[in-house]
Amino acid sequence: MITLVVTIVTFIALYLYNTRTFKYWEKKGVKHDKPVAFFGNNKDGVLLRKSKVQITEELYNKYPDEKVVGFFRGTRPELIIRDPKLVKRVLVSDFGSFYNRGFVPNKDVIEPVLRNLFSAEGDLWKMLRIRMSPTFTSGKLKVMFPLIVERAEKLQSRIFKLASNENSIDVKELIARYATDFIGSCGFGLDSDSLNDENSDFRKLGRKIFAPGPIDAVVAVLKDMFPVLCKDLKFFYRLEAEAKELAQNIQKARNYQPIGRNDYVDMMLAIKNQGNVEIESIEKTKPDGKPELVSIQFDDDIFMAQLMVFFAAGFETSSSSSAMTLHLLAYHPEEQAKVQEDIDRVLVKYNNKLSFDAVKEMTYLEMAFKESMRIFPPLGYVSRRCSKNYTFEDLGFTIDEGINVMIPIQGLHMDPKYWDNPEEYRPERFHPDNEHKDIYLPFGNGPRNCVGSRLGLMQAMTGLAAVLSKFTVKPAPESRLRPILDPKSEIAQGIVGGLPLIFYERNPRT
């Protein structure tokens, strides 16, 4: 009898704990689906039936007349922003209230791998952004470009070998290897050969980052359902030891000093050797309202975290977008012909050699690439955590500090209110005369936009130009125009079954 009473009391206590926040959006007059105990509105996410992108896009489409939609991730209220003007406020004009991404449940307990430019919070993020932005200037891109071309030519050679029998090739895996080799060379000064060695250490690392296992999924779910109780669980536990070893080996190979390559590692070593970095705080102010000066040490964990984010961002975003571009061009041969004509026209001017200036002139190729990122943005959403109480004055309610705000990029990119026949693949949408600034967000917007977007664009376009100048792509028998999305995807969108295509060698250009 006592056992039964204890069980009932425990269940009631858990139920009350898990429903204590469920009136949050109702009190503020924000429309939302009815939450259920233990899951909130995230049952499909907890059961790994849908990814965050899919759930966010569904709610975006379900409430077409609302500017915002409420959501409960377990017990945690979140707000989905549907209106482009409000999106711009959150990401740009009112950035001071939304400078955190919200990936760190407790800033006092931060996984070492999360101390990177993408997921870092507050002052650490500001220091990293200030110090790392100079790495991605046009001048630095020109210096890196010969290394990009070298990898693109290896990509051509690999396809010549694979395409000789006209079998299907998983272009997602192929471009991922190209991206891996580029990152190894341009970022780390390592000559990896993932294109020819599918078991290379770098390629294995890429698979580990973007192939979450069952334990990772369970950890993610527990953090969503019980963020306070599970704050000490590490999502990236499986990478931490390997990442630290890689970072130490790279530093040791350079004797812990820049060696004049002017690459990503050189820049980080230079910052690390400066000792403490002093900046004006984004989090703390003096009594007179001016920002305090804070000192941050660029230690080994931060060094390691930057290596991982450079690898992850360069690997996943550009490779998935490049692969999707080839996939969509295979299904739209008339657009593929226009892209190839554009590439051929430019290459003739440059003695049939890829160069920085040549790739910059391939405007139709860039339009095709941007349209692919509209249909399938690598990051289907971005999030921001409210750093102080914030009032949406025109909507008449205030959200509390700590509330996560979701920007549904996939939903905005496919909304017929902003795009004519959004399901159609139409590169002309991105003619230089057209403007889509507030509704086209593959790299985010505002101070926390993607710092390496120009490098990613250049890497992707060079690889695409190298491929399409020599080959025509067509769907394989097993291809699907709309690939199956991986419901276990956490941040970047994943695809089940790859993107199989058939490559045909083109006739030599005249």
Rounded CA-CA distance 406/381 in Å is: 7
> What are the tokens at 9?
């009391």
Cα separation values, 316 from 168, 176, 427, Å: 22, 7, 22
CB neighbourhood size of 129 (10 A): 16
Q: Which residues of 240-257 are buried (b: 16+ CB within 10 A; e: fewer)?
A: beebbebbeebbeeeeee
Do strands 76-81 and 404-407 pair parallel, antiparallel, or not at all (unpaired)?
parallel
Q: How many CA atoms lie within 13 A of 347 on its CB side?
A: 19
Question: Is the Cβ–Cβ distance between 500 and 168 less than 8 Å?
Answer: yes
At residue 86, the 3 state secondary structure works out as helix
Helices 237-253 + 300-331 axis angle, to 10: 110
Q: Report yes or no: 60 and 80 within 8 Å, Cβ to Cβ.
A: yes
* Orientation angle between helical segments 453-468 and 333-349, nearest 10 degrees: 100
Q: Is 186 annotated as a binding residue?
A: no
Residues at the binding site are 450
Residues at the binding site for heme are 450
